[in-house]
Structure 1
Amino acid sequence: MTMQRTVPIPSPSPAQVKLELPRTASERAIPPVLQPKAAWKDSERIAQFIANVTSAVLVVAIASYYFVPLVALAMAETPRLATQVQDRAVWTAGNASVVFTDGWTAMQKLEIKPSSSVVSILQRMMNSPQVTAALTLTTACLVLIRKYKVVGWFLYLQAGVTLQWGIALYQLARIVFSMSCYFTVKFVKVVIALFRRGYSSIFGVRNRQAVALRQLMKSAPTHAVWAEMAEYLDTLEGKDHWKTTISDDDLEYCDFVQLQKNLTALARAMNEKKPNIRELRYMIQACAMRNELGVDSPSLHLECKSGTKTVINEYNGAIVRALEMLGNASEEEFSSAEKIEFFRHVKQSFGSTALCLSGGGSIAMYHKGIIKALLEADLMPNIVSGSSGGAITAAMIACKTNKELLDDIIQDDVSTKFIPLGIRWFPPLLEQITHCIKTGFLIECSTFERTTQHYFGEPLNEVQKTLYYTFQDAYLKTGRHVCITVSASDVNSAHKGPKKLLLDHINSPHVLLWSAVACSCSLPGIMKSKQLMARDFDGNVVPYNSLGKEWCDGSIQHDLPMETMASCFNVTNFIVSQVNPHVVPFVGDEINQPGFRKSIFHTLESVIAADVRHRLKMLAFLGLFPKIYGHQFSAYFRQNFSGNVTLVPEFSFQEAVGIKAIQNPTKQDMHDYIEGGQRTAWPKLAYIRHLCSIEKCLDRQLNRLLGPSVVPYNNWLHPDSKELQANQNKTTPIA
């Protein structure tokens, strides 16, 4: 029996007890936890204060170093002014005009000569009694400013603000110059590409065939047709030899020597006659990891249209076969309990894949084509995030099964078939302009919320018309980890809570999907920020928290919440669907053409883009970004907008300039969005399959060992849904 020792806690003596009573009535009324903190404790205000102090010190230092000695010397060389100062007649009103004239004459004598020395000037000044009188007058002014601090602070702050705005204008001018250089480089690159294409089409038969084939691939009806044309294109361009050989350039990205050794060891352990289970376990734990030996490098997977190096495919396939062999091992060699523990450890080490859907308004409907391509290829990740326009598609993924997505959601009429009922994402442009003139916002919040309620609800019965999904309901139905981002509104600056939220079934299980989408799409100027709504323990719809916080567009703070998702769901691989019109020009070439990184154009564009980002961060640090509808956008420019695989569609002119972003998609628009999204994903499907094949194999083994996961289709823990007998026998497999 283990004895526990109790240590007595001494009670404080009456002399040690110190009671602190509230000093004011306001402190007595407000609990200490809810009392507002000093404004200067805000980090942004501290940064702005430091910038003000630094700029003011610089102004004073520069002025003192250059102008004060020269002014004093000029005053010393003006006899009438010096006499007036010594006789103190300068303070009389009668001599004011004389003093002003002499002072102006002294100012005109300020000439900065390169050969003059500040030390010699100071020596001449100190030997003059007139300069001594001038310094005395300056000291008196400083004493006056110190005594009346309001005057001093006013002059100090004005000097700081002036320098601050000077720096801001300089940074803006440099940004404009850099952007002009950036688009000039883009233009030159397009001209050279057109010249090369024209030259190839005139002087090369094979090149003419390749150009024609690329055009046909842009209109391929299915991925199978596209893949067949891609293989023929690789043959025309001589890429078949690249797949089977290893060059010195390839060794920069991957250690093919060690890869071949590992492949030989795996083949030896997977002996068909008598596989060595212990060696396989050892090899898998050493080889099953992200970018092991550099095999995941984009330069090795995007050089060809139809795949990567043959040895990389063999290596990836060997790891998958080894995992399946371990899963099928006998109970004597490898027990089920050991298998479960082993595969869980490998999955934890390998990590998961997430799909991040960027914002972009109506242009975010391109995401639906991306989803369709991934579903048809059986490569749809189980972890998805969405912000702003991407939150619409993410919420549909959360509450719809694969079959429902393909049959009901990813259709040409999904955004128009409910218009007769008043259900649409965006009203006509003229109506938006009229509403903006009246209220200052383009879209009426109640209309948009009614649309989100329609799309993210489930019909129940005559009494309870509709069940509105929460994040928990959606997860229990589909098993997908779906996250939606929202940003805190800056209008109510008294609240010091979080600046951003990642809403999912773990952090916010009771938040309603329609409310999360409505808040995440509330871009300042487009829609007014609003509160999140949730379902409480009695089934009532209530505000999510008691602080009265309003939330707006999620892309302001974190368009792609990769860091938070990595910590919450162990995500190590990110597939990004990027459709923001202002982001696409800066990421398109680098992610679609790996060879582009070796060109002089990539070097120039990288330097210019880095310079623009640096200057935007400087403006954000100085607090000089203007607030739009009371919201600060400085955090937007500090984000990362690409992932391990970044999918960027080809925009039309209206999409590139953002006009389509605030228009409700027509049936033809949705058709173009879905097809465009599919054709954007097809060139990267082989790369995505390589990145996800080991992860998918681990998931299959764990599902087989742990049993199939199904949930009853009785509207997922809603109290009123228990009366529905018709759906009791329906089940939905977790995707």
Structure 2
Amino acid sequence: MAYESSSFKPKVTFLTGRPHPNYGFPPEAFDYTRLPDVDREFLPPEHLAAFAAALNAPEPANSATDDTSSLKSPTGRSTTSLEITRSGSIASVDTTAPFSEGGATPTTPTTTLTQTQTQTQNGSQSGMFITAQNDWAPVNEKVSKHGRKKKRKKTTLGRRTVDETREGYLYGLLKWPFLFFVGMWIIGLAASYLWTRFYIFVYEYFIAWRGTREKLRQNMRAASSYREWVKAAKELDSFLGNEQWKEENEFAYYDSKTVRRVWEQLRKHRKAAEAQEAKLSGAPGYEKGDVTTKGEQRRTVEELKALTEACVKNNFVGVENPRLYSQTYYGTKHLVQNFVDEVHTKQLSFEEKKGIFKRMHANFGRTALCLSGGASFAFYHFGVIKALLDADLLPDVITGTSGGALVASLIATRTNDELKQLLVPALAHKITPCSEPITTWFPRWWKTGARFDSVEWARQASWWSRGSTTFREAYQRTGRILNVSCIPADPHSPTILCNYLTSPDCVIWSAVLASAAVPGIQNPVVLMTKNPDGSLSPYSFGHKWKDGSLRTDIPIKALNLHFNVNFTIVSQVNPHISLFFFSSRGTVGSPVTHRKGRGWRGGYLGSATEQYVKLDLAKWLKVLKHLELLPRPLGQDWSQVWLQQFSGTITLWPRTRASDFVNILSDPDEERLARMLHEGQQSAFPKLKFIANRLKVERLIEQGEAGDAGGREEGEYREHYRRGGSEGVVEERERGGDDG
């Protein structure tokens, strides 16, 4: 297809008249007609209708003092819908009534005793809706001595109940004054923090980054490929004298003596095994070996197996300490690199690796890619994914929250070849959730409290997840494990992490919508599950769910519980968090430039002030939370938005612009998405060497654990297992389990 078919036209820069830079993308990358399945509608109309009906089903009000709660069986097959009121009467529920914008819950009559027959819009099956009191509520209302019912004061949405607060006059008397003074102190600390960061920026701009080192850094930032970036990074390392640090073995953050001893033993046994193998095969220069040689080879291989099993563990003697990769722009100690390369020995047969690495899997753990929320900032994740994909370093376990869940759904449902065609600026053609004019969304927000229509978002999100694909189906198609964090509308219920183990039949697009349901932006939605006949019905009794980033933006504990994840790559783009991320001693691939990496960013005074103010901010936020002083706007406890963990083993922070804050709820065009892809890649390039060393060993373990005992070559297994073919991911796992 010709490039002229695209709607994108390169802009011309002011004054120079030269074309606007395309960040290294070829012209065809801006042609949306080249995208696979660009005009395909994956979602059947009956699935969309089932979702709309579920949104309008009876549901308990979002309050801790509700008189009723609604349950929806996910597999109910009754054609009768009943509503049982507190007084024991039964009222009809019209599930076929038209749904309103924003998913508003319709009112139902509660004064008559009737029974109605209802059907879903596809005419296949319908569930039974039962409204009942909370289990702990009394059967009859409390009656006063004079025979009158005691009136109960209705609790407004988001207000704390008596059960959640402490009794006493001082609490009610001092709550609001204390909240005011603490709030003003927090505002003052925030202003001080901004001033401190500005001082550090000026310090580094005029002292750390100047002259040749600044030119070399600009060369790195201008690189459009990893190869170009590595070349520029090596030049900067050479200029700063970092190569000398790589040659020295000693370093305080790992046991260099043990690493050197193990590496020498591995190399010794490997060379002995190579020589004995050459004798047995009668290679040129060697005489064909006898039984004694075979026995010696067997003993050497056994020693090599025992040594490999002893040292291949998670962060063995500190070789995976991020500090080892934070002193240079590219690479680490030569001793550490030699050790990692030597572990990947070829002297063990595939069958031998299979046996020992099954036992190693629990010790070494797995790697996961975690994509944070952040509204339109989440589109920076595409660049991170592209960098990992081009380097063949994309982990199998992927989790996303809010906007990151949308990106993760695309990654988990597409093969590598499909992703390479999709991760281009032309993908902006499919990013249209914010395309409605203000005359459309403002009346909806005024009426329902939500800017976006959940049903329309479901239609758009279905393209990213290939229709009503479930978590299990995505795993079977690509071998990638998708995880999406959702929290219930009830502020006290636990968070769930949807994946192919916890909710295998849950539809991905419904989990993405729930994870993006921020109060005031989108109302909580119902998760949908796919039935054996292909139809959809509400999941978890029709309870509604919302944005998981409000509590667990990065679900590290849940990933460790379900998939033994102990190494996390976090792409963090939350705008309210990125400002507070600061590493005074440098990060992976971004060392402190002055004093040969031994200095402090902004000088010791600047770093010390930054740490003090940031820790003091966190302290006062915890005071507000634990003294129960914070109100609950929109029925949500917002304290965890600041106090939860937002980082991982490796944390990537793509560079943003001030204009991104203005466009936080707007769709990107091709030019803006090209910049986001570029900046996302730039944030990932410094970390790729660390990730590559980790995955080199991890994938060796996976090959031994899930490989075919029939003698499949490692390269064949690697291609079969990673390329996303639907023919064998589960089969490989099952074969590995049967042999174990």
TM above 0.5: yes
Q: Which moved more, 1:694-703 or 1:382-391?
A: 694-703
1:361 aligns with 375
Q: Secondary structure at the match of 1:486?
A: strand
Residue 339 of structure 1, CA deviation: 4.3
1:411 aligns with 424
In structure 1, how many angstroms separate the alpha carbons of the residues matched to 2:379 and 2:505? 27
Alignment of 1:445 onto 2:448:
no
Alpha-carbon displacement from aligned partner over 1:622-676 (angstroms, at most 9, x marks no partner): 3332223222222333310000000001110122xx3222111111121111111
What value does the CA root-mean-square deviation take over the aligned residues? 3.4
1:454 aligns with 463
| Cα distance change on mapping 1:342 and 1:733 into 2, 3 Å | closer
Alignment of 1:645 onto 2:650:
yes
2:482 aligns with 482
Of all paired residues, the percent bearing the same amino acid is 29
Alignment of 1:680-695 (within 5 A): 680-695=683-698
| Cα distance change on mapping 1:255 and 1:455 into 2, 3 Å | closer
1:179 aligns with 190
Alpha-carbon displacement from aligned partner over 1:522-560 (angstroms, at most 9, x marks no partner): 1111111111111123221111122x3111111012100
Residue 237 of structure 1, CA deviation: 1.2
The TM-score normalised by the length of structure 2 is 0.68
1:352 aligns with 366
| Cα distance change on mapping 1:730 and 1:560 into 2, 3 Å | closer
Residue 733 of structure 1, CA deviation: 11
Alpha-carbon displacement from aligned partner over 1:130-178 (angstroms, at most 9, x marks no partner): xxxxxxxxxxxxxxxxxxxxxxxxxx3xx32122223322321221222
Higher RCO structure (Cα 8 Å, ≥6 apart): 2
| Cα distance change on mapping 1:182 and 1:260 into 2, 3 Å | same
1:386 to 395, 400, 414: 400
Alignment of 1:263 onto 2:274:
no
In structure 1, how many angstroms separate the alpha carbons of the residues matched to 2:436 and 2:569? 32
> Which structure has the highest helix share of the two?
1
Alpha-carbon displacement from aligned partner over 1:278-330 (angstroms, at most 9, x marks no partner): 22222122211122111222222122112111111011111112xx32235xx
1:610 aligns with 615
Alignment of 1:233 onto 2:236:
yes
In structure 1, how many angstroms separate the alpha carbons of the residues matched to 2:435 and 2:136? 40
2:560 aligns with 566
Residue 245 of structure 1, CA deviation: 1.6
Alpha-carbon displacement from aligned partner over 1:388-408 (angstroms, at most 9, x marks no partner): 00000111112111111111x
2:571 aligns with 577
1:325 aligns with 347
In structure 2, how many angstroms separate the alpha carbons of the residues matched to 1:564 and 1:263? 35
8 Å Cα contact 1:302/1:687 also seen in 2: no
1:667 aligns with 670
| Cα distance change on mapping 1:27 and 1:164 into 2, 3 Å | farther
Residue 434 of structure 1, CA deviation: 5.1
In structure 2, how many angstroms separate the alpha carbons of the residues matched to 1:50 and 1:447? 37
Alignment of 1:282 onto 2:296:
no
Q: Secondary structure at the match of 2:568?
A: strand
Alignment of 1:306 onto 2:330:
yes
Alignment of 1:220 onto 2:223:
yes
Alignment of 1:412-427 (within 5 A): 412-416=425-429, 418=430, 424-427=433-436
1:165 to 176, 188, 197: 176
| Cα distance change on mapping 1:558 and 1:269 into 2, 3 Å | same
In structure 2, how many angstroms separate the alpha carbons of the residues matched to 1:734 and 1:660? 45
In structure 2, how many angstroms separate the alpha carbons of the residues matched to 1:528 and 1:572? 34
1:625 aligns with 630
Q: Secondary structure at the match of 1:705?
A: coil
8 Å Cα contact 1:382/1:480 also seen in 2: yes
Q: Which moved more, 1:286-295 or 1:615-624?
A: 615-624
**What amino acid maps onto 2:222 in structure 1?**
S
Q: Secondary structure at the match of 2:218?
A: helix
In structure 1, how many angstroms separate the alpha carbons of the residues matched to 2:472 and 2:257? 48
Q: Which moved more, 1:379-388 or 1:310-319?
A: 310-319
In structure 2, how many angstroms separate the alpha carbons of the residues matched to 1:731 and 1:358? 27
8 Å Cα contact 1:425/1:451 also seen in 2: no
2:506 to 508, 511, 516: 511
Q: Secondary structure at the match of 2:275?
A: coil
In structure 1, how many angstroms separate the alpha carbons of the residues matched to 2:695 and 2:725? 32
2:471 aligns with 471
Q: Secondary structure at the match of 2:699?
A: helix
1:273 aligns with 275
In structure 1, how many angstroms separate the alpha carbons of the residues matched to 2:725 and 2:365? 31
Alpha-carbon displacement from aligned partner over 1:194-231 (angstroms, at most 9, x marks no partner): 2215xx74xxxxxx222112112211121111111111
Alpha-carbon displacement from aligned partner over 1:566-594 (angstroms, at most 9, x marks no partner): 01000010000000011111124456355
Residue 503 of structure 1, CA deviation: 0.5
In structure 1, how many angstroms separate the alpha carbons of the residues matched to 2:319 and 2:729? 40
In structure 2, how many angstroms separate the alpha carbons of the residues matched to 1:340 and 1:659? 53
In structure 2, how many angstroms separate the alpha carbons of the residues matched to 1:36 and 1:702? 49
| Cα distance change on mapping 1:282 and 1:603 into 2, 3 Å | farther
In structure 2, how many angstroms separate the alpha carbons of the residues matched to 1:233 and 1:535? 54
In structure 1, how many angstroms separate the alpha carbons of the residues matched to 2:562 and 2:729? 28
Pick the structure with greater CA Rg.
1
In structure 1, how many angstroms separate the alpha carbons of the residues matched to 2:583 and 2:436? 34
Q: Any gaps of 5 or more consecutive residues in structure 1?
A: 1-24, 57-155, 202-207, 329-335, 458-466, 717-728
2:704 to 689, 701, 709: 701
Residue 378 of structure 1, CA deviation: 1.1
The TM-score normalised by the length of structure 1 is 0.69
Alpha-carbon displacement from aligned partner over 1:52-77 (angstroms, at most 9, x marks no partner): 34xx4xxxxxxxxxxxxxxxxxxxxx
Q: Any gaps of 5 or more consecutive residues in structure 2?
A: 1-85, 91-129, 139-151, 153-157, 277-296, 593-599, 734-740
How many pairs does the alignment contain? 549
| Cα distance change on mapping 1:731 and 1:192 into 2, 3 Å | closer
In structure 1, how many angstroms separate the alpha carbons of the residues matched to 2:171 and 2:163? 10
